């Protein structure tokens, strides 16, 4: 009778322990992994256990030990913030048609970004080199405005998220990249319109096809 | 029945899914700490919302952040870029589906402990002239003893003597350690009357990445005639998990010219008056 009772109790405990627990987060031992959907960059909280401290902010997320003031990072730690970052481009080409000395030609590209990141996003524009045809190229705009009759090429950016660091007017596109739009929180279908503007003077070699590749890169802010 | 049908049709038109042409990634950011001499795998999921399949090319980049402007700077040099290799070259992601990209991080056995700020990049070549990229931040740490070091390079008033106006104190410090820091602290301004103004530094908990300089100028407001004399600025800066503290003091003179001229005028007037009195007494 007694053994039956203990068998029953053991069965119940076993069932209770083995019952699946629904959770967004998971953590495993050894080379452990933490899924951390709710991590916030401004959360400076930490959990400690003896000498081991786990800083729970993505980017700051690491296990450390402190001995005599020296900080040691512990290996085998992984954490991630899931979420979503989406990018769409309205066009696959930059089509200026035929350039003439008497006018400015334009081509428009609309970039749409969505993210559920609490830190927002940054959108960067870069190029693989000047607008060119072989050794001939069209100079980047330097005075903030593409003017008809002058050899100038640049882009103007319109967006509610237009980066504060981006000067007004037509800007040159540079290979290292320039942040053109930024948000500090979640956005849904946030649009940035890029108007590429080109003008030439009589010295620009005619009869050629000028092109280059531009890249729009979106990331969440750290 | 007919009206119900109309309602359903209208409802369908209103709520019909928009034609979304985009691709997306997840996770947005991840953190990995690995021991030297080990191999760790990280993943990036790419989803295709286009109506047709797209080719995605994975790559690695490194970044830093300008703490003054919050601008992300890409393509910075990082030795850890060479440690990470995408397992696949280009993957075709069918319409409406997702694919996982694997990246293996091979940490050399002699790698120095510290932090590396990387990005897993998914590139979609939309056309020959335009391409879209999405970057997932990777905070990668090599395990071991890290070095938290912050050096104050400049802490000084712009002038030694201010004849009025708003004095300015310039502060520049640099993260010379091997991991990012969140510097915090205060700048206290004291005059002969006591504490005048306190600036709280970095209330947004911004990160200062290694080899990056923090620059900030503090404008001291509302100094009055009664604050004339020496003004002290005390910097208390705290950073790191080791709880490091830096304290610096500088001073300058605040001598508002109106008051100085007034005092000098009064002195000269007093001296002249005294002289006249003495001359008159002497004449008697």
Q: What is the pLDDT along chain B (284 residues), one digit of tens a residue?
A: 455 444 333 333 333 333 346 899 999 999 999 999 999 999 999 999 988 899 999 999 999 998 888 888 999 999 999 999 999 989 999 999 999 999 999 999 999 999 999 999 999 987 778 999 999 999 999 999 888 999 999 999 999 999 988 999 999 999 999 999 999 999 999 998 899 999 999 998 888 999 999 999 999 998 888 889 999 999 999 998 888 999 999 999 999 888 888 888 999 999 999 999 998 888 87
Q: Any idea what DSSP says for residue B80?
A: G
A202 has a chain B CB within 8 A of its CB: no
The total number of residues written for chain A in this structure: 222
Q: Is the ipTM of this complex over 0.90?
A: no
Greater confidence (A176 vs B100) lies with B100
Confidence of residue A29 (pLDDT cuts 50, 70, 90): very low
CATH number belonging to domain B20-142: 2.60.40.10
- pLDDT, tens digit, 9 for 90 and up, residues A150-171: 999 999 999 999 999 999 999 9
Question: For residues B234, B240, B244 and B247, what is the CA-based torsion angle, rounded to 10 degrees?
Answer: -10
How high is the pLDDT of residue A5?
A: 64
The residue of B17, B20, B23, B27 whose CB has the most chain A CBs within 10 angstroms, and thus the best one to mutate to test that interface, is B27
How high is the pLDDT of residue B69?
A: 86
Confidence of residue A105 (pLDDT cuts 50, 70, 90): very high
How high is the pLDDT of residue B63?
A: 94
A211 has a chain B CB within 8 A of its CB: yes
Which phi and psi (to 5°) does residue B213 adopt? -100, 140
Confidence of residue A10 (pLDDT cuts 50, 70, 90): low
Indicate whether A213 pLDDT > 70: yes
How high is the pLDDT of residue A12?
A: 60
B129/A222 Cβ within 8 A:
no
| CB contact at 8 A, B195 and B232 | no
Name the pTM for this structure.
0.76
Token representation of residue B239? 């950073």
| CB contact at 8 A, A156 and A193 | no
How high is the pLDDT of residue A16?
A: 52
In this structure, are strands B130-142 and A214-220 parallel, antiparallel, or unpaired?
parallel
The closest alpha carbon to B35, from B117, B116, B144, B121, belongs to B144
How high is the pLDDT of residue B177?
A: 92
Rounded CA-CA distance A112/A90 in Å is 8
Q: State the distance between the two ends of chain B, measured CA to CA, in whole angstroms.
A: 125
How high is the pLDDT of residue B167?
A: 94
Residue in chain B nearest A53 by alpha carbon = B241
Query: Averaged over A34-52, what is the pLDDT?
Result: 37
Which phi and psi (to 5°) does residue A14 adopt? -60, -45
| CB contact at 8 A, A39 and A85 | no
Window 13-32 of A, Cβ < 8 Å to B? none
Residue B204 CA, chain-centre distance (Å), reads 9
CATH 2.60.40 residue ranges for chain A = 85-220
CATH number belonging to domain A85-220: 2.60.40
CATH 3.90.76.10 fits B150-255, yes or no: no
The residue of B130, B138, B208 whose CB has the most chain A CBs within 10 angstroms, and thus the best one to mutate to test that interface, is B130
């Amino acid at each position: 009778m007694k053994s039956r009772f203990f068998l029953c109790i053991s069965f119940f405990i076993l069932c209770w322990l083995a019952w699946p627990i629904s959770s967004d987060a998971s953590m495993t031992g050894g080379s452990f992994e933490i899924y951390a959907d709710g991590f916030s960059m401004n959360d400076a909280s930490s959990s400690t256990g003896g000498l081991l401290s786990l800083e729970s902010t993505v980017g700051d997320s690491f296990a450390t030990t402190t001995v005599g003031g020296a900080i040691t990072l512990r290996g085998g730690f992984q954490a991630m913030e899931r979420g979503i970052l989406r990018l769409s481009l309205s066009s696959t080409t930059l089509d200026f048609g035929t350039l003439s000395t008497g006018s400015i030609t334009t081509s428009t590209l609309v970039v749409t970004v969505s993210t559920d990141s609490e830190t927002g996003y940054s959108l960067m524009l870069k190029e693989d080199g000047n607008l060119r045809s072989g050794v001939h190229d069209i100079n980047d705009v330097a005075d903030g405005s593409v003017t008809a009759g002058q050899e100038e090429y640049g882009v103007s950016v319109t967006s509610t998220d237009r980066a504060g660091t981006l000067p007004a007017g037509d800007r040159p596109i540079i290979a290292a990249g320039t942040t053109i739009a930024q948000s500090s929180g979640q956005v849904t279908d946030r649009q940035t319109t890029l108007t590429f503007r080109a003008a030439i003077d009589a010295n620009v070699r005619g009869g050629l096809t000028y092109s280059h590749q531009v890249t729009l890169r979106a990331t969440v802010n750290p | 029945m007919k009206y119900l049908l109309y309602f359903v049709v209208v409802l369908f038109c209103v709520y019909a899914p928009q034609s979304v042409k985009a691709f997306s990634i997840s996770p947005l950011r991840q953190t990995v700490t690995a021991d030297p001499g080990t191999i760790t795998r990280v993943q990036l999921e790419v989803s295709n919302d286009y109506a047709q399949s797209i080719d995605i090319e994975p790559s690695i980049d490194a970044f830093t952040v300008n703490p003054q402007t919050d601008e992300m700077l890409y393509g910075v040099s990082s030795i850890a870029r060479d440690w990470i290799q995408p397992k696949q070259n280009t993957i075709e992601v069918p319409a409406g589906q997702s694919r996982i990209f694997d990246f293996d991080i091979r940490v050399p056995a002699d790698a120095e402990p510290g932090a590396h700020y990387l990005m897993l990049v998914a590139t979609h070549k939309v056309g020959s002239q335009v391409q879209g990229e999405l970057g997932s931040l990777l905070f990668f740490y090599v395990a071991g003893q890290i070095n938290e070091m912050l050096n104050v390079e400049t802490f000084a008033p712009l002038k030694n003597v201010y004849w009025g106006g708003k004095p300015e104190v310039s502060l520049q410090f640099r993260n010379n350690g091997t991991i990012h820091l969140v510097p915090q602290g205060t700048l206290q301004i004291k005059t002969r009357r006591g504490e005048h103004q306190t600036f709280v530094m970095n209330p947004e908990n911004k990160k200062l990445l290694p080899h990056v300089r923090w620059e900030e100028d503090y404008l001291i407001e509302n100094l009055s005639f009664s604050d004339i004399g020496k003004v002290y600025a005390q910097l208390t800066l705290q950073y790191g998990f080791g709880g490091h503290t830096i304290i610096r003091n500088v001073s300058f003179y605040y001598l508002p010219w109106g008051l100085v001229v007034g005092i000098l005028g009064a002195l000269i007037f007093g001296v002249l008056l005294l002289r006249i009195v003495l001359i008159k007494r002497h004449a008697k």
